[in-house]
Chain A
């Protein structure tokens, strides 16, 4: 009984006096500035392709942090902005800072990667032309780059299979795949983040750059392989660039066979074509505190 009373007193005292600060950053996973290497190691592409991004733009908006024990307390960063993830300052883009925040766990964290519209602003470091590109097209994400492999080939799926040398394949893909990511949790476990008394919590919505190479729609730990051959094969006219129009012509069941370990259950949109696959993966890019997850994903 004494310990119970002591616990209550401690909680009451803590409720009245403990405050801290919160800094919210937008962070890019290393795969965006550094690309991906061929190999069998962690975050490497197992079918021999390397990946380089030349541009990677996303729209980030409507960050919220709430407490399940107090529905009146909310930290919010309204509005949306185009963020150039290849030109972030070290440590990420500071989205907002909050002071005098209750030093407790904020266990309901969410943010959006929405489609750009006329109200979408450009974040610091984002070129006006890139902002215009996103707004005019209504994209939530745009990325361009290339996959390369010295002995790479583009292959059809006929009998017999016909292949054409293709050491480099370019891509320039923009998608309106607006999605809200909720129930964010760090990789260390728990939900949201904890504000230390008298200290600062650094909160980092993290955009990943490798999900369209995954053999699964990851949920929780990223237990998956990364493959890129499907992009080379989807270059149907063999001109060295795989377009979104070509992706719409490629049946997903052909491009992502179970024999290669693909299992695409759990997508929030039906996957019929390779284009659907890219969009479905684009709706999983929003992660948290590096490798943490925001497992509730709702289309916007």
Chain B
């Protein structure tokens, strides 16, 4: 079993930043308010709530076409490996600030990022207010590993295939993208904005993936200068552009509640 210096759902743990549990305002200098505060203090140590699960899905952006500079790009394939995912109670998620996950999806799913909706699985959670997320794109680097490892059948973080057209010229590309965690024990992405005021058994989380945005940094002019058929792999400038964009333009998190 893999171990990682990352969140768990243990009741006994507490992160650097506590869960926000506001009491109702009361009259200033009220003995009753102090008594309530005292009772609440004495109640510390009780259970933080029973774990539960709710559905996790991916929402794609569609194939396009979309402009990148002078080029019109159309994706025909966009497979993205996503997971593990951790939801944190702090707005700034990092392994040192997110000792306890408010939710986690510990598997890796390969989703079709062109499909309108793809069900991913169940997210295991506990009551609270998620305010950020950490995640990998299918390549993780746990503390027990000497090097990062692809955990999905895809073998990479993403595979993006398509064409770019300009002035009658058509360029085809097939990109195998690896987004590798920068440090052992740390996810590839930390501090991803992800906020819901609550989560419960009736919640549903949708991750909106936009692979089109990940291609906007690709220099199609430079690619065209060296041919019209391209396999993009780690080490290529186009790969660096895509992997960078996957890091800085992560999935957006959107909750709905029954």
Residues of A within 8 A of B (CB): 4, 7-8, 11-12, 14-16, 68-73, 182-183, 185, 189, 191, 216-217, 219-221, 223, 251-254, 256-258, 261, 263-268, 270-272, 293, 295-297
- Per the bound structure, the CA–CA distance linking A183 and B237 in Å amounts to 39
In the complex, whether B7 has a CB less than 8 A from a CB of chain A is no
In the complex, whether B169 has a CB less than 8 A from a CB of chain A is no
Q: B91 and A15: CB pair below 8 A?
A: no
Q: A70 and B25: CB pair below 8 A?
A: yes
Whole-angstrom distance from the CB of B22 to the nearest CB of chain A?
5
Q: A69 and B91: CB pair below 8 A?
A: no
Q: A296 and B18: CB pair below 8 A?
A: no
Q: A257 and B240: CB pair below 8 A?
A: yes
Return chain B residues, CB-CB under 8 Å to A4. Answer: 42
Q: Which of B37, B90, B193 contacts A268 (CB 8 A)?
A: B193
Return chain B residues, CB-CB under 8 Å to A12. Answer: 31, 34-35, 38
Closest to A293 in B: B92
- Per the bound structure, the CA–CA distance linking A257 and B163 in Å amounts to 26
Q: Which of A73, A183, A189, A254 contacts B90 (CB 8 A)?
A: A183
Whole-angstrom distance from the CB of B228 to the nearest CB of chain A?
20
Whole-angstrom distance from the CB of A126 to the nearest CB of chain B?
30
Q: What's the A-B contact tally at a CB cutoff of 8 Å?
A: 139
Return chain A residues, CB-CB under 8 Å to B37. Answer: 11, 15, 69
Return chain A residues, CB-CB under 8 Å to B191. Answer: 217, 219, 265-266
From B46-54, B100-108, B118-126, B182-190, the one touching the partner chain is: B182-190
Whole-angstrom distance from the CB of A69 to the nearest CB of chain B?
5
In the complex, whether B94 has a CB less than 8 A from a CB of chain A is yes
Return chain B residues, CB-CB under 8 Å to A14. Answer: 34
Whole-angstrom distance from the CB of A193 to the nearest CB of chain B?
15
Q: A265 and B250: CB pair below 8 A?
A: yes
Return chain B residues, CB-CB under 8 Å to A264. Answer: 244, 247-248
Q: Which of B26, B35, B38, B91 contacts A183 (CB 8 A)?
A: B91
Q: Can you identify 29 A-B contacts, CB atoms within 8 angstroms?
A: A7-B42, A8-B42, A11-B35, A11-B41, A12-B34, A12-B35, A71-B24, A72-B27, A72-B28, A185-B17, A191-B17, A219-B94, A223-B96, A252-B217, A253-B243, A254-B240, A258-B180, A258-B182, A261-B182, A264-B248, A265-B192, A267-B248, A268-B193, A270-B248, A270-B249, A272-B248, A296-B90, A297-B91, A297-B92
> What band does the interface of chain B fall in when counting residues whose beta carbon is under 8 Å from A?
35 or more
Question: B41, B182, B243, B248 — which one has the most chain A CB atoms within 10 A of its CB?
Answer: B248
Interface string of B125-145 (1 = CB under 8 A from A): 000000110000000000000
Return chain A residues, CB-CB under 8 Å to B247. Answer: 263-265
A295/B217 contact (C-beta < 8 A), A252-B244, A252-B248, A253-B245 known? no
Q: B248 and A271: CB pair below 8 A?
A: yes
In the complex, whether B216 has a CB less than 8 A from a CB of chain A is yes
Q: A296 and B28: CB pair below 8 A?
A: no
Closest to A72 in B: B25
Residues of B within 8 A of A (CB): 16-18, 20-29, 31, 33-35, 37-38, 40-42, 90-94, 96-97, 131-132, 180, 182, 188-193, 213, 216-217, 237, 240-241, 243-245, 247-250
Return chain B residues, CB-CB under 8 Å to A266. Answer: 92-94, 132, 189-192
Return chain B residues, CB-CB under 8 Å to A69. Answer: 23, 33, 37, 40
- Per the bound structure, the CA–CA distance linking A64 and B16 in Å amounts to 21
- Per the bound structure, the CA–CA distance linking A261 and B22 in Å amounts to 40
Return chain B residues, CB-CB under 8 Å to A251. Answer: 217, 241
- Per the bound structure, the CA–CA distance linking A21 and B34 in Å amounts to 21
Closest to A276 in B: B248
A265/B248 contact (C-beta < 8 A), A7-B38, A7-B42 known? yes
Q: Which of A258, A268, A272, A295 contacts B216 (CB 8 A)?
A: A272
Return chain B residues, CB-CB under 8 Å to A7. Answer: 38, 41-42
- Per the bound structure, the CA–CA distance linking A223 and B5 in Å amounts to 15
Question: A16, A69, A265 — which one has the most chain B CB atoms within 10 A of its CB?
Answer: A265
Q: Which of A258, A261, A270 contacts B240 (CB 8 A)?
A: A258
Whole-angstrom distance from the CB of B33 to the nearest CB of chain A?
7
- Per the bound structure, the CA–CA distance linking A297 and B243 in Å amounts to 25
A185/B248 contact (C-beta < 8 A), A257-B240, A296-B91 known? no
- Per the bound structure, the CA–CA distance linking A298 and B23 in Å amounts to 24
Closest to B188 in A: A265
Q: B29 and A272: CB pair below 8 A?
A: no
Return chain B residues, CB-CB under 8 Å to A252. Answer: 217, 244, 248
Closest to B242 in A: A253
